[in-house]
Structure 1
């Protein structure tokens, strides 16, 4: 049984979700969100994300991680802070020796719903059903992180079998310790 950590990086709010996967079914472990104070210096905010993700890693000991990639169709001004948050997340994973696979939002939707243009409510409801939860996980960032973990559980083994361990696959890039996508 593998433990998988899903992460939805964000500067103001970084979502995380932990599931287990036995090769056939996924089971819910926990989820949450790391909120940073906009009145704090950027370095302190990034440190809070790093420290909290490191604590989650230490507590749950994930074998692998699925990280949602950046997507900025309309709000490019927030790209840099989110990229910085993504960087500290990848650093925490690498420091812990955890291989991270990165998935664009469309690939996550495809893995959960079966189509990449599904709306957020449909994706969140299926996450709830797949994990046997009574309610849709909230906030949205945590639900997105659980989606990244489920996507990794469903697609990660396939890509390992066909040899997509390095960046370059059109939908999925893989980061190894010391590497990046």
Structure 2
């Protein structure tokens, strides 16, 4: 994609924090350097249901979110390697379901690690969930604190907006990228 496609004129970003029990989603609009809250929530699967049923719930509900809010870009948190390999595998499958829903919607998908999200939103990679929630409330001027998974999804969307707009504004200022560095 060209840089102009990434400009910060106006974009709607769907952020997703995948989970096998709860998948958070957050939708923001970005106009210039301003971020506006659109919606957020959680897709909850049936506790104890077979994995295939939970995957179906995630895909169908994300497709509904896409249809309702019409995002132009999506951002997903990458899976971290857990101490428990079985839990990591299940989380990876839930993430795969989210990616399938997004790609079936023919949307560009950007991926960020938890460290990148915390650094972008809080300013440090070891930030606690409560700090992420607090900064999401501040950055989007929310009247209340969203549920943790929804706040994480909003943080993923904000991370994409901040990284996307930062790159576009630097290029608009005449900076170029050479050998992976701004000049």
Normalising TM by the smaller chain, what interval?
A: 0.7 to 0.9
- TM-score, normalised to structure 1's length? 0.84
After superposition, the CA RMSD in angstroms is 1.8
Instruction: Kindly indicate whether residue 38 of structure 2 is the aligned counterpart of residue 29 of structure 1.
Output: yes
Aligned twin of 2:119: 110
1:148 equivalent in structure 2: 156
**In 2, distance between residues paired with 1:98 and 1:35?**
23
- The answer for the alignment partner of 2:47 in structure 1 is 38
Structure 1 residues 158, 24: CA separation in 2 closer, same or farther (over 3 Å shift)?
A: closer
Q: Structure 2: how far apart are the matches of 1:128 and 1:75? A: 32
- 2:7 matched to which residue of 1? none
> Aligned ranges for residues 32-181 of structure 1 at < 5 Å?
32-138=41-147, 140-158=148-166
> Structure 2 CA distance, aligned partners of 1:8 and 1:153?
16
List structure 1 runs of 4+ shifted beyond 6 angstroms: 160-163
Q: Distance in 2 between matches of 1:107 and 1:42?
A: 29
Q: Distance in 2 between matches of 1:52 and 1:114?
A: 32
User: Which TM-score applies when normalising by structure 2?
Assistant: 0.83
Structure 2 unaligned residues grouped into runs of 5+: 1-9
Preserved CA contact (<8 Å) 1:128 1:135 = yes
Between the aligned partners of 1:119 and 1:62, the Cα distance in structure 2 is: 28
Number of the residue aligned with 2:18: 9
Between 38-47 and 123-132, report the one with greater CA deviation: 38-47
